[in-house]
Amino acid sequence: MSTYLKYRVKKHNGAHRFLPNFIKSVLDRVEGLSGPVDHATRTKNEDILCDVLVKCYGDTFTFLTVHSSRPTCLSKIAEFTNHQSKNMIAAAAAIGDVKALEMLLTTESANGWDKSPAFGFPIATAAYLGHVEVVKTILRRFDCQDLDHPYEHVFSSSMTKSLSRCMNKVTKLLAAFHPEYFSVVDCNIFRRWLIKAVQTEDVNVVKAILGLKHQGGVEMYALGLEVACEIGHMEIIRLFFKKDLLNINQRLEFRGRCGYESPLTIAVSSENVTAVETLLELGASVNGPRLFGCGRSAAMPPLDLAKHLQQHDIIRVLVNHGAKFKEPRGQPI
């Protein structure tokens, strides 16, 4: 649908012209504030707004298939036209036009945290597209006095979008801003952020997220370690122990699972030999702590788990470090 909308904006023909005209009009107004741009930049900005509108507005199809005079369209058109300021702020944020954005935010009623019907929340859109200077501009104008505004929800959405798109500079900027204005992070949100941070494979992004206070326990870090082991990023693996977030030989209870694991069994479960070697270098007990439970990996010492997974290279590493198979009663063979 985005491709079709881009075509309609460029060709400007055919029926149902409200959206093509709307995008052109918004861009004309933004350019009126910051100055004209060349043809290539104008085309790029049109494409960005088409993509963002299709992503943020749930009823684009109606505008492109139903005549604007129909009752089903009239109320939707009113929603767009009654929020021109919000649409312009979000459009400037989407295309990364800091000059226009700053001019728009000078009015008392303007707010970079308010949702545009067409282009969503300006800060979230800017975070998604990686516009660092736009995010800085909106953060500088943050006003926490409006207690009825869902600021934390908007911030959380912005952080999630920047992490999902690996916009690492934006992520670090948002993480630095968070402690100043917001309280601890909900455990489910923190878990999602930490997993995505590890998946970026950027150590500084992981450090930024780990620096946030959250409502979860040590299992949050265990999940992050699990992802780092699966990816095979040794520097991130070491980070969990350098910062004393995890003890190399502690039992780890995973919420939603019956039983316990240790950092070493997490590494074995990832089937990554280098991760296992790294944890052994950090001082992990080769036979693991005493583990009790009914989960597959929770009930098994590292060597038994490696055997169960048929990971011969990991078995060789563990045996070379002195690991022993155990009898059912738990005594080394």
Residue 242's CATH number: 1.25.40.20
Flag whether 309 is in a domain.
Answer: yes
Flag whether 95 is in a domain.
Answer: yes
Flag whether 192 is in a domain.
Answer: no
- 101 and 221 within one domain: no
301: domain range? 217-333
Buried b / exposed e across 227-258, counting CB within 10 Å, b at 16+?
A: bbbbbebbebbbbbbeeeebebeebbbbeebe
Flag whether 211 is in a domain.
Answer: no
Q: Count, in order, helices (H) and strands (E) of the chain.
A: 19, 2
User: What are 51-93's pLDDT values in tens digits?
Assistant: 999 898 877 666 666 666 677 677 777 777 888 899 999 999 9
User: What are 301-319's pLDDT values in tens digits?
Assistant: 889 889 989 999 999 999 9
- 3 and 130 within one domain: yes
pLDDT of residue 256: 32
Of 124, 141, 158, the residue that ends a domain is 141
Flag whether 92 is in a domain.
Answer: yes
Asked whether the predicted pLDDT for residue 257 surpasses 50, the reply is no
In angstroms, the CA 208 to CA 204 distance is 6
Which class for 274: exposed (0-12), middle (13-18), buried (19 or more C-beta within 10 A)?
A: middle
Q: Are 199 and 162 in contact (CB under 8 A)?
A: no
Of 100, 123, 141, the residue that ends a domain is 141
Flag whether 114 is in a domain.
Answer: yes
- 312 and 225 within one domain: yes
End-to-end CA distance of the chain: 65
Task: Count how many domains the chain has.
Answer: 2
* pTM (two decimals): 0.85
Of 86, 108, 141, the residue that ends a domain is 141
- 323 and 228 within one domain: yes
pLDDT of residue 2: 79
Give residue 259's pLDDT band: very low, low, confident or very high (50, 70, 90). very low
- 224 and 117 within one domain: no
